[in-house]
Amino acid sequence: MKIISIIPARMGSSRFPGKPMADILGMPMIGHVYKRVKLNPVLDEVYVATCDKEIYDYITSIGGKAIMTSDCHERCSDRCAEAMLKIEKQENKKVDIIIFAEWKTVAFIFYKYKRGKSGLQWSRIPSNRWPS
């Protein structure tokens, strides 16, 4: 079973433009989130999904994995879905579980997905059934 985390990030937030690259104690916020998520031993891989080259370049400069996505997504789940499909194609492996990392607390939300007639369908996995 392949379990990955995808951290959606974009510079164009209406409430806090540039938030992912905001400096916190000498490191951009996205760097803190990425490093914390990488500490989870359940994960096979951690990626940042972004439409911004600045974020992509930063993540790759610290040895992380980033996936460029469209700048047209309205929801982070759409950005993560596009990234997941690109990751599957790039790695030539099916992803079984995807985790969205939540910005404020770096909490984890586990999702299982399936391909349906209307595209990808996400279902949240209750916390008592998370992989360990």
pLDDT tens, N- to C-terminus, the chain (132 residues): 678 888 999 998 888 899 999 999 999 999 998 998 888 888 889 999 999 999 999 999 999 999 999 999 888 778 888 898 899 899 888 776 677 655 554 444 455 555 555 555 555 554 555 555
Residue 21 is classified by DSSP as G
Helix (H) or strand (E) holding 77: helix 76-91
**Residue in the block written with tokens 């980033």:** 66
Q: What is the pLDDT of residues 30-48, one digit of tens each?
A: 999 899 888 888 888 999 9
Task: Give the whole-angstrom CA distance, residue 76 versus residue 59.
Answer: 18
**Residue in the block written with tokens 């400096």:** 23
